[in-house]
Amino acid sequence: MKLGLTFLLATITSLQIALGCDCKQQGDLNEAQKRNYENSELIFMGRVIELNEDGTFKFEILETFKGTKQKYIELKQTHSCSVLPSEDEEYWLVYIDELKNDEPIIISSCGLSRSFRYPCLMNINDLPPPPPPSDAFLQLESEILMSEHRTKSLEILKAEIEQLRNWRSEK
């Protein structure tokens, strides 16, 4: 029995490690923004206009900060470390590392790409507060904390977009 339980736990742990993303901490936000700007081939603000069951989705590009301007771009979720927008995530800031003609274009969950609806940066120590507790008053306090955190994250996103506009105009 002990051997079977040990084997099961080892298998589950190995599976989680195999499926997990190996994101490196981005460090300081300003450094991460500059590094992601320099290392991205395309950066844009866009609106999700199509979500398909095969993991593909399409953006209408509203503003290009770096790279060749285009009206639309189709991307694909290819693995657990690539992003797939949900129906309620309409507007995004997107960083694309590479554009290859023969491979699907992905948004890495390890980068700075994020929706306006969920603007938290998971790899910059910007995690949202934990889920609300069952006590009603504590849940209210938790909702206030989550609201404050989202507001702060939106302000960071706005400042980042302004910085991207500045870097674009300097070129």
How high is the pLDDT of residue 42? 93
Mean pLDDT confidence for 6-19: 40
How high is the pLDDT of residue 154? 94
Residue 63's pLDDT band (cuts 50, 70, 90): very high
Q: Which residue matches tokens 């949900």? A: 86
**Separation between Cα atoms, residue 32 and residue 101, nearest integer Å:** 27
Is the pLDDT at 7 greater than 50? The verdict is: no
Q: Which CATH number is 28-170 given?
A: 2.40.50
Mean pLDDT confidence for 144-153: 88
Better-scored residue on pLDDT, 74 or 83: 74
Mean pLDDT confidence for 63-85: 85
Mean pLDDT confidence for 61-86: 85
Mean pLDDT confidence for 67-88: 81
Is the pLDDT at 15 greater than 50? The verdict is: no
**Separation between Cα atoms, residue 108 and residue 106, nearest integer Å:** 6
Is the pLDDT at 100 greater than 50? The verdict is: yes
Distance of alpha carbon 33 from the chain centroid = 13
Is the pLDDT at 18 greater than 50? The verdict is: no
Q: Are 49 and 60 in contact (CB under 8 A)?
A: yes
Is the pLDDT at 74 greater than 90? The verdict is: no
* Non-local CB neighbours of 119 within 8 Å, separated by 6+ positions: 150, 153, 154, 156, 157
Domain limits, the chain: 28-170
What tokens were used for 16? 């989680």
How high is the pLDDT of residue 16? 36
Mean pLDDT confidence for 54-83: 87
